Every structure is written in structure tokens, then in C-alpha cells.
Structure 1
């Protein structure tokens, strides 16, 4: 049969010979379009894979390494949207960093410096109680023990010697020992030329005088060898000397070199600072007290605080039986009246050299009929007329 239908079916069923030759023109054009589309899709997918692989290689390759000139494919610079799509993490990090740097609304965390309550009022009362300047430290301290007419290096050496002798020793004993040393010749050369027995007799009876004889000899030799007979002008250099601690070093810097390097904390300053509550937490050593005080106490008071508290501790806030009833800080001190005597010391007792003469207190003894004891002194009568305090 010569029907076109059967002719087309025969060509499909037999599949023999060249199919393009026997296929009708419409089928051939449809087939060619499908073939071209399939080929184009394959080429585009291959191009995408190549581009993805090149992008991976470019991420692993250092940015400073140049691309090889012989590469078959060149990477085209990507626009900002493309880079943000392919590298979301790096883009997010950059945004966070820029936003953090430019954010002006976030204020930095402010750390408030701790300071004890009412410390300024307490310090003012201590200045008032010390205004007469009649404590032992005022007349026989390290500032009064050197020869003002001696050369500068000799004066500084005598200041250091008086500080070394004052450890665990009353000011009266230290001043007497310094007077004998100065009469003998208190210089580096004379100390080295004096034998230990003679030097011990000169400084006796200061506390631990045998050890201090050794320290004086070793320190004098070190000063002559390393510092040309003068004392060091730094705290680090002073604490290297035998028998010199941080307290002596800071006081020597203040008195000898007129430089405030720190607070000189001895037993008086250590005790009174803990009693007044001037520390964030109680301390167990003078060095801990020094660090705690320097955290909050203004630097312009570092030089004055040693002189004030030492004299205050010698007259009022004594180690044993402090005279809290005569202290102007008895209402604000957390340690007041915990170990204080109930009545004033009698005339002629060791405590009579305290502030009774300097305060000029005028009180009347009121005796209780039932207990026949003297009542405590009223705090209003303790105040001295306001005078200018010499700082």
C-alpha cells in the first residue's frame, strides 16, 4: 500500500539505513532543535561546574599569589551581590565588625573606685588632733635625725640609716642612736672603718641591734661599690640593700629624694587603717595595707598620711588600750570603744603624754552615785578651736 501513513510507520519500525534520510523534514527539524538544546544544557552545566571548581581553588589559594598566565579559564571579578551569595560568612563578619566599630550608642563599662565612707571627715579630725605636732615622730623622726649641714649624699645616707634603725624601735631610742652615730661620723667610709663591736655600742639599744650592725656594714659596702657612696634613687634599687624593706624605701624616696613613690606603711598605719575601715577587706601585713590604700587614696595624700597616722597612733590610737573616748572619730570608727578604757588616764601615767595637753580639753568629772565611776568624756568638749593645719 502506498499510503503515507504506512510509509512513516515502516521507517520507524524497521530503523534501518540512514534515519535522517527517510525522516520527514518536520521530524528532522524537531530532532535537530532537541539535540541543540540538550548540547547547550550540557555545555552550560559543564561551565557552571568549572566555575565552581575555580572558585573553590581561588579560596584555597593565597590572595597574594598571582594566577598562572597559561590557565584556560580566567576568573572574572564578581560583583558585590555575587560575592555576598557565595561567601555569606565572611560578609557577615565584615558587617558585624564595621557595625561594632561605628556603633556610638554603646557606652563603655564604667568601674567605680571604692573608697571608705566618711574617710574625708575622719582625716580632717585626725589633722585636727595632730595640729599641735607634739608627737615623738614630729621631733625625733627620720626627718629630724640627719645633719642639715652635711653634703647631699651624706644627708641621704643618714636618712637611710635612721630608717634602718627605726624598725621595731621607738623614735626616742632611734634619735639617741643617730646622735651618737653622727658624733662618731655617720658616713659610708666611717661605718666601713668601724668594727662591729664599736658599731654595736653606738646603736645600742635599738631593736635587733646585732642584725642591724650586719645590715649597716653590708649596705655601706654595697653603696660604696655600686652607687659611689650615695643611696639609690629608685625603690627597686633601695629594696636591694640589706635590711631595707618597702616601707623604708618609700620613706627614703620621699625624705631623701623628695619623690613620692608610694605610701610608707608601718605598724601604726597598718593598725589604724584596719581600725578605721579604710580597707576593702582586713589585711594581715603592712605591705598588703600599702597596696590597698594606694588603690583609692589620692596620690597627693601619700606623703602626708604616714606622718599623720604615725603620730596619731603614738598619742591616741595606741596598740593597747586606745584612747577612743578622746578621739574625735569615735562615732564613725567601727572599732571604737571595743578595747578602750572607760575613763581618762591619771596624771603621771604613760598615757598622760597623749593629747590632753594638745587638745586643751576642759571637762568636768561627773561621778555616778551608784557605780562611783567617772563618766566618759563628752565628744563635744574634745574639739579644739579651729586653726589652720600645716600640711
Structure 2
């Protein structure tokens, strides 16, 4: 019985050899179980995988027979060892911006008469966008690259911010970084300097990061200049389609699409130019494609500026001045409001020790009635990325 037990024990064990750590001519022979051997191999393979390819061998391993003194030994040449790839990852491809609709949007009735009427009104109005818009930022720069970069920065700051605040921030930023709004100057400035200069605009913390990252990317990939395509512009941090189209129009005099902001979004919906109306920011892209599908191409470059000024002075977000608008008398605006003025006389009697004094206070009460425009039909404000 003991002989059988011993034989079975020998089958479960096998001999292994290893060089003696004390003398090169001595080889040690050891008996180990199959389970221990397999566990050792497993542990050894895991250790080899974790080892770096350029890690030098230990002194014992370098002297042991069967090992090469070069770093690329047999264990590291094993096919089971993962190969670590070097080099930077492939750059992410820019997301393509759609330019056309599969089915063009129907042309709104009397749109040309409406467009010409608004354009005529705008010719007699000086709006904030006319004196402090994004196209004004380039006028204080001489170098063509700096002029284009100043336009881009102004557009990045204008999101969810009034033109007056944007213009002041651009001026302060230019002074803070040395008097010239250039890619090199923005890269050299620290984030705190940029943040202090643009602190009055909306989302200033995020815009500080966007401007710094954009300057670095323009330097690395576009020779410190503003790119000339919509897709390349939209690959910049914080730049969306609206900014891209307006940048191309102002900086490069290229007409590649309509820039849709909150004013264009609101006014074109009030005019009934979209069926169905676009009521939320997610439909802004559809609104732009709708307009581009039927509005003549030669008008794409001017409609944003025209409607922005119209929205800043007459077609206000709250309390639009329909009494001053020429669209209402012509029946061109389905959202027009009628304004009814009435006068009421209020009297207040003051009694003192003496003759009574009666003071009459006259006030004008203004009542507005909505014909085809209710709060639920107005579009929601755009987010920073959409505007």
C-alpha cells in the first residue's frame, strides 16, 4: 500500500532545475508539485506582463545560464506579453455640420415683403450690435491674423451676454494682455489675468478655459490663425455653428450659412416662418436649416445682423414695441400685439388744520392684448452652446 501511495505522489510531483545563486557551475534540482508549478508559472507570467520593457535584469538573472544579458530576454519576447503602443492617439475627427435638409422647408408667404420692411426699419435704427457687435473687435487690430482672432474671441465672449458687456470685456482683455489681442499674447497670459478681464460676461470661468485652449490649438494646428471652414472652427473648444458662420462672414468674408442666435430664434418664430414652430434650443439646428433651405443665399450673410438689431430695439423678448413696428399695420406679423391707451383720474384728499387740499394724480394705463402670441408659443432661451 505504501508503494502505491508513493508512486502516486511521484506522479503529482516533477523535478525542476535552477542555477545556484552561489556558484555558476552548480545546478540545483528540486521537486515541486504540479499545482505549485502551475501557480508559479501563472505568477511569473503576471510579473512579466507588469514589468517594463526597458527594466534591467537583476544580477542573479544576468549570470544564470539560458538568460541573455540584453533587456529583451526570452520572457519579454513571449507572445503572451502585451505590446505597449507608443505615440499619441490619433486626433479626433471634427464633427461635420449639416448644411441642407432632405426636404426643403416651404417658403413662407409674403416673406420678402416682411424682410424688406424690417430692413427699412433697421436703416433708421442704431442698435447696440451696430456699434459694439463682434465685427467691431477687429477694428482695433492691425495684423490680419490678430483681426481674425479678435473677432473669434469676441464671438466666444458674446454667448448669453449683451453686446455692451462683451465690447467692454474685449477691450479690457486686450489691455490686460499687453495691448494686442493675439494668439501668442493669450497663450502667454495666465488664466487669472484672462478671468479678471472677462469677469463680467456670462459663464466667464468656462470661457476663460475655452479661450486659453483655443489659442493653444490655433498655435499648434492652424499656424496661429483662424481656420476657414465650419468644421475646423467647430473643432475649437466652445465654438458652435453660430459662431463658426459669423466668424467666416466677418473674418474671412465667406458666406457658408446663417448664424442663429436668440434674436433670430425668437423673431423668425414670431413671424411664423417655421412650421411647426421651434420652441426649444434643441431645435435650433433645424431652424437654421429651415431658413437656409428657402432664403436666398445672398441674404444669409446679413439676416443675423439685421434681426439682432431689430430684436434689441423693437421686437424685444418681453414687451415688444409693436406700436412702433411697421409690420403690424401691414398684417405681416401673426404675433402682433395691439396697444390700447386709456386715461384714468385718481384724486387723493389731504386734511390738515386748515382748508382741505385736494391733489389730483393723472396716470396713463396701458393695456396690451395678444392676438396670436402667447407665452407658451415663444421659444425658450438658448443655452450657451446653442446661442
State the TM-score, normalizing by the size of structure 1: 0.58
Note if contact 1:280-1:292 (Cα within 8 Å) is conserved in structure 2.
Answer: no
1:168-179 paired onto structure 2 within 5 Å? 168-179=160-171
Q: Which of 272, 275, 297 is the matching residue for 1:280?
A: 275
Alignment partner of 2:326 out of 328, 345, 350: 328
Instruction: Provide the secondary structure at the position in 2 that maps to 1:145.
Output: helix
Which residue number corresponds to residue 230 of structure 1?
A: 225
Check conservation: 1:322, 1:341, Cα contact below 8 A. Answer: no
1:113 Cα deviation after fit: 6.8
Change (3 A) 1:211 1:375: closer
- In structure 2, do the counterparts of structure 1 residues 319 and 226 end up closer, same or farther at CA, with 3 Å as the change threshold? same
Measured against aligned partners, the alpha-carbon deviations of 1:44-91 in whole angstroms (never above 9, x if no partner) come to: xxxxxxxxxxxxxxxxxxxxxxxxxxxxxxxxxxxxxxxxxxxxxxxx
Distance 1:329 1:318 in 2: 14
After superposition, the C-alpha distances for 1:24-48 in whole angstroms (9 at most, x for unaligned) are xxxxxxxxxxxxxxxxxxxxxxxxx
The one of 103, 118, 123 equivalent to 2:115 is 123
Q: How far is 1:147 from its partner?
A: 3.6
Alpha carbons 1:253, 1:259 under 8 Å: kept = yes
Aligned residue number for residue 313 of structure 1: 311
Q: CA deviation at 1:280?
A: 2.8
**Compared with structure 1, are the counterparts of its residues 227 and 343 closer, same or farther at alpha carbon in structure 2 (3 Å cutoff)?**
farther
Displacement of 1:373: 4.8
The residue that corresponds to 2:200 in the other structure is 205
Aligned 1:85-164 pairs, distance under 5 A: 114-164=106-156
Matched, 1:254 2:246: no
CA gap 1:219/1:112 in 2 versus in 1, 3 angstroms = closer
Q: String of CA shifts for 1:136-163, please: whole Å, max 9, x gaps.
A: 0000001111245421111100000000
List gaps (5 residues or longer) in structure 2. Answer: 1-102, 343-362, 369-387
Distance 2:189 2:111 in 1: 48
8 A Cα contact 1:165 1:212, kept in partner:
yes
Offset of residue 204 of structure 1: 1.7
Give distance in 2, aligned partners of 1:372 and 1:215: 49
- Aligned CA distance change for structure 1 residues 372 and 146 (closer, same or farther; 3 Å): closer
1-side partners of 2:364 and 2:213: how far apart?
A: 60
**How much is the aligned-residue C-alpha RMSD, in angstroms?**
2.2
Question: Which residue of 296, 302, 313 maps to 1:304?
Answer: 302
Q: Which residue of 2 aligns with 1:167?
A: 159
Helix, strand or coil at the partner of 2:294: coil
SS of structure 2 residue aligned to 1:325:
coil
Matched residue of 1:134: which SS? coil
Shift in CA distance, 321/112, structure 1 to aligned 2, threshold 3 Å: closer
Q: Per-residue deviation at 1:114?
A: 2.0
Post-superposition offset of 1:274: 0.4
Q: Distance in 1 between matches of 2:211 and 2:333?
A: 40
| Contact 1:325/1:342, CA 8 A, preserved across alignment | no
Separation (CA, whole Å) in 2 of partners of 1:373 and 1:211: 45
How many equivalent residue pairs?
238
CA contact (8 A) 1:269 1:309 kept: yes
- Between Structure 1 and Structure 2, the one with more helix by share is 1
CA distance in 2, matches of 1:373, 1:203: 42
Deviates more, 1:305-314 or 1:178-187: 178-187
Q: Give the match for residue 186 of structure 2.
A: 191
- Name whichever structure is richer in strand by fraction: 2
CA distance in 2, matches of 1:158, 1:112: 36
In structure 1, how many angstroms separate the alpha carbons of the residues matched to 2:366 and 2:172?
46
Judging changes above 3 Å, is the alpha-carbon distance between structure 1 residues 171 and 341 closer, same or farther for their aligned structure 2 residues?
Answer: farther
The TM-score normalised by the length of structure 2 is 0.58
- Give unpaired runs (5+ residues) of structure 1: 1-110, 345-370, 377-391
8 Å contact from structure 1 (residues 181, 202) kept in 2: yes
Cα separation, 1, equivalents of 2:224 and 2:238: 17
Indicate if the aligned counterparts of 1:178 and 1:203 stay in contact, CA closer than 8 A: yes
| Contact 2:104-2:290 within 8 A present in 1 as well | no
Whether contact under 8 Å (2:207, 2:238) holds in the other structure is yes
Listed one character per residue, the Cα deviations across residues 357-385 of structure 1 (whole Å, up to 9, x for unaligned) are: xxxxxxxxxxxxxx975699xxxxxxxxx
Any conservation in 1 of the 2:138–2:151 contact (CA below 8 Å)?
A: yes
Q: Which structure has the greater CA radius of gyration?
A: 1
